[in-house]
Structure 1
Amino acid sequence: MLYYLFRALEQFGIPGSAMWGYISFRSLLALMLALVISMVFGEYFIKTMKRRNIGETARDISIDPFGVEKKGVPSMGGIIIIVAILIPVILLGRLRNIYMLLMIATTLWFGAIGFLDDYIKIFKRNKEGLAGRWKILGQIIMGFVVGLTLYLSPDAVIRENIEHQRVGDRTEIVHKSEAVKSTKTTIPFVKNNNFDYADLVGFLGEHKQAVGWIVFVLMVIIVTTAVSNGANLNDGMDGMAAGNSAFICIALGVLAYVSSHIEYAAYLNIMFVPGSQELVIFICATVGALIGFLWYNAYPAQVFMGDTGSLAIGGIIGVLAIIIHKELLVPILCGVFLFESVSVIVQTQVFKFFKRKGRRVRVFKSTPIHDAFRRLDSQLDPTSIYLIRRWPRHPFHESKITVRFWITTILLAAFTIITLKIR
């Protein structure tokens, strides 16, 4: 809204109004505004939840080897994050931009799924929350909508990067003059780093491009579902998911910015995505909201984000990566989320396999994997066999676990960015 207002005032020569045309100015303003909103609204939200005696009761979070009581801490704090993201985006962003509209829809949809899950847990006293099949269905629907929108919208296009040989051994990277719809994406560690999903069905000949879009939509569904569930599993310690997600979003912001700038895209030999510069504003608002949320969510937490926040954040990260055609970098960038998800899958499948044989066997002390680092031997099931019982040797304080996971994410985020030059 403010963007359109000041762009109109620029026509009358109002001093300072031209600044609103700069992505850098609006992005940093969005970050600061989101941070302030998150802190101010967060205090009001926490007081309201406490006054109404609405706290976390469904999960077993009161067990802490260092004696910190968490039962009754307000949940649904994801509402704080969503509000702090959307207000700056609506005020400072270009709402006619198809990518901005997709991100707003993604935030609201995934937030609604998480809110319904939290509502059932807290108000209906059902610790299982929303049935897993309905969560997955909701995630699949949004993934399908995003993929279909990118396929149908005339504004969702790219300009492919190509190499032209110059004098000597040097090469010059240029982009095709025409913007086209494409199922291509960036693949790491490969010199000519454009990979086309249509190539997976190359045996179909002239029909491969049409079927390639079906493969692309399926990829969108897989990425958004996997990342949102990974973020949800990572939300188990004070500040864990908020901090990791903030660092991931910063890396995505860098990738979105260079993808939207034709000169930087040429230098890095990546495809140019016209219009994706507005995503930088959305990402900065998300980072600001997460940092502001950490004011209350850092150990010892005064509020939990709940599924309302974790599913929304995961959806945001997944869809952002898809839009800028960097989804194949997600396993690296979101390596912590991937590790959490794999640990749960391995633990569950191994337990089910041996249970049919009448034995109780687990791989880790606890999953998601971050929980194994704080689990005391006295808290383990004496009737179960643990394949990795001596790792870790002793429990760590929750704050130390969180910071070490943050450091891991920072390293993965940095490595993700430099993969653009490692070929």
Structure 2
Amino acid sequence: MLIEFLYQKTHIYLLNSRLFSTSVATVISFVAAMFLFPPYIKLLRKLNVNSELESSNGKNDPVMPAGILFLIIICFTSCITARFNSYVISALIIYIFFSIIGAFDDIVKVVNKAHVIKGEKTKQDYQYKADGISASLRLALYMLISVGVAIAAYKYIPNINGFINIPFLSILKDFPYFPFWIFIPLMTLVIAVMANGVNFTDGFDTLAGVPIITCCVFLGIIAYISSHSVWSSYLLIPYIPHVDELLPIIGSIVGTLLAFLWFNSPPSSIIMGDSGAVGLGGTIGILFVFVKAVFFIPIVGFIFLIEFVSVVLQIASFKTTGKRIFLRAPLHHHFQFKMRKNPFYNNEFYIRSKITWRFHIISIILLIVGLIVFFKVR
């Protein structure tokens, strides 16, 4: 809004550039996060705000949640740099409300821990409620907010349900047009799955951060090109007017996450928490819907999807057969437990680093594959 105001007053063309506003958003969010994280971490340590019942590093235990600071920085930066339209408003609504749900979850964890320390509850009670609010309540809130935003987007964003990109197919004859009764459940499902997927992935230091950034890079490139009629026509992809207004939000997320990774790199000083993971996951989900690339989530968002699926399969298998498919879910914990059985991997830090870096490499490779498929392979 501020950059748009300055453009109206000065008519400097650079201020009207989406690439410029995105660059400004990325830099501002990164610098702001780098300055704000140290005092924020210091404050949380003073208040002993973390969900770990058993201390492992004493005063150096990672605190939580970073997501509350994410919310402040990303919303502030977006308000400065973004030009508000239906896309931007919808994305911010999802981000704010999903972050609030995650923050409430984080607060419940911290409160439960405090009750155990005071002797008001047992360790077993804490372990039973270690995930904060119940999964069913979380899912109900995700669905309620997602349906509301989906209906509003369907009403106010022209042709949002038309010509959805499908990998390996051409826009000329194969891109489907979804009716209301399919589009609303699809959009709701995508947002809820991504919110849960990112939350499940956020188990090791930096594990969720890099795949979120690779998704943002993909979404930013698609949003920028899809908003230009000549480029979209030449590349045979749907033309989506004004979707590039989402770029400053994407830039804000990337800048904030880069600063977060600075402090989250092992051994971490702060962790994302549900307020960060759920909010960013839901936002990534709605951005995939807006750029009409939801069917590219199995490629670019593979890490989040496979983590989500591993949890669903584990729960379904245990409830129906009494047996577990994985040693532990989500999937990164399965690899963790499997590597512990190998005498070669005799260090927990080494195990986590191996898994994390391999997931990062996969997410970067799949970003490249996703871009190749989106633009060329049809």
Measured in 1, the distance between the counterparts of 2:5 and 2:328 equals: 53
Distance in structure 1 (CA, Å) of the matches to 2:365 and 2:169: 21
| Cα contact 2:55–2:61 (8 A) shared by 1 | no
Residue 164 of structure 2 aligns to a residue whose secondary structure is strand
1:322 deviation in Å? 0.5
Which of 404, 411, 423 is matched with 2:358 structurally?
404
Unaligned runs of 5+ residues in structure 1 are 12-16, 63-67, 159-180, 199-211, 356-360, 379-388
Aligned residues: 359
CA distance in 2, matches of 1:347, 1:313: 24
- Alignment correspondent of 1:128: 131
Return the letter of the residue paired with 1:422. V
> Which structure has more strand as a fraction of its residues?
1
TM-superposed CA distance for 1:321, in Å, is: 0.6
Q: Find the counterpart in structure 2 of residue 298 from structure 1.
A: 265
1:360-417 superposed Cα distances (whole Å, 9 cap, x missing partner):
x433222211122332787xxxxxxxxxx88x98875322221111110011111111
For residue 362 of structure 1, give the secondary structure of its aligned residue in structure 2.
Answer: coil
Shift of 1:72: 4.1
- Contact residue 54 and residue 72 of structure 1 kept, 8 A: no
Higher gyration radius (CA): 1
* Structure 2 gap ranges (5+): 114-128
Aligned to 1:157: 158
TM alignment of 1:181-192, pairs within 5 A: 182-191=161-170, 192=172
Q: How does 1:159-178 map to 2 (within 5 A)?
A: none
Query: 1: distance between equivalents of 2:173 and 2:78?
Result: 32
Mark the CA change 1:217 to 1:313 in structure 2 (over 3 Å): closer, same or farther.
same
Partner of 1:221: 188
Cα distance, 1:83 vs. partner? 2.0
Q: Does 1:422 align with 2:368?
A: no
Counterpart amino acid of residue 3 in structure 1: I
Tell me how far apart the structure 1 counterparts of residues 48 and 321 of structure 2 sit (CA, whole Å). Answer: 42
Amino acid aligned to 2:260? F
The reply to whether residue 375 of structure 1 matches residue 337 of structure 2 is yes
Q: Say which of 246, 251, 274 aligns to 2:218.
A: 251
**Residue of structure 2 equivalent to 1:77:** 66
How far is 1:252 from its partner? 1.0
Deviations, residues 57-102 of structure 1 (Å, cap 9, x unaligned): 26x895xxxxx7899421111112222211211001112x111111
1:22-421 equivalent positions in 2, closer than 5 A = 22-57=17-52, 72-95=61-84, 97-125=85-113, 126-153=129-156, 156-158=157-159, 182-191=161-170, 192=172, 194-198=174-178, 212-355=179-322, 361-375=323-337, 396-420=350-374, 421=376
> In structure 2, how many angstroms separate the alpha carbons of the residues matched to 1:346 and 1:93?
40
Instruction: Tell me how far apart the structure 2 counterparts of residues 258 and 328 of structure 1 sit (CA, whole Å).
Output: 18
Q: Distance in 1 between matches of 2:216 and 2:155?
A: 27
RMSD: 2.4
**Residues in 1 aligned to 2:109 and 2:60: alpha-carbon distance in whole angstroms:** 14
TM-aligned CA deviation for residue 18 of structure 1:
2.9
Aligned match for 1:21, one of 16, 21, 27: 16
What is the deviation of 1:55? 1.6
Q: Take 2:264 and 2:236, find their aligned partners in 1: how far apart are those partners?
A: 40
Aligned partners of 1:250, 1:308: CA distance in 2, in Å?
22
- Answer 1 or 2: which has greater helix percent: 2
- Conserved in 1, the CA contact under 8 Å of 2:30 and 2:256? yes
d(CA) in 2 for partners of 1:115 and 1:141? 17
| SS, match of residue 369 in structure 2 | helix
CA 275–194 in structure 1, closer or farther in 2 if over 3 Å, else same: farther
SS of alignment partner, residue 74 of structure 1: coil
- The answer to whether the 8 Å contact 2:339/2:351 transfers is no
Q: Distance in 1 between matches of 2:55 and 2:158?
A: 46
SS at match of 2:132: coil
Query: Residue by residue, what CA displacement relative to the aligned partner does 1:293-319 show, whole Å, maximum 9, x if unpaired?
Result: 111111111001110000011111100
> Deviations 1:163-209 (Å, cap 9, x if unpaired)?
xxxxxxxxxxxxxxxxxx643311111134653354xxxxxxxxxxx
- Judging changes above 3 Å, is the alpha-carbon distance between structure 1 residues 39 and 194 closer, same or farther for their aligned structure 2 residues? farther
Letter in 1 for 2:254: V
CA distance in 1, matches of 2:365, 2:372: 11
> C-alpha separation between the residues in 2 aligned to 1:20 and 1:377?
52
CA distance in 1, matches of 2:106, 2:133: 8
Cα pair 2:328 2:337 within 8 Å, conserved: yes
Q: Secondary structure at the match of 2:237?
A: coil
* 8 Å CA contact retained: 2:216, 2:284: yes
Q: Distance in 2 between matches of 1:266 and 1:401?
A: 41
TM-score w.r.t. the length of structure 2 is 0.88
Question: What SS does the aligned partner of 2:175 have?
Answer: strand
Q: In 2, Cα distance between the equivalents of 1:368 and 1:183?
A: 34
Please tell me whether the aligned partners of residues 80 and 293 of structure 1 are also in contact (alpha carbons under 8 angstroms): no
Q: Distance in 2 between matches of 1:9 and 1:413?
A: 39
Q: Aligned with 2:243: secondary structure?
A: coil
Q: Deviations over 1:224-271 (max 9, x none)?
A: 011110000000000111111111111111111111122221122011
CA contact (8 A) 2:45 2:59 kept: no
Distance in 2 between residues matched to 1:108 and 1:189, nearest whole Å: 35
Alignment check: 8 A CA contact 1:197 1:216 kept: no
Residue 56 of structure 1: SS of its match in structure 2?
Answer: coil
Task: Note if 1:10 corresponds to 2:10.
Answer: yes
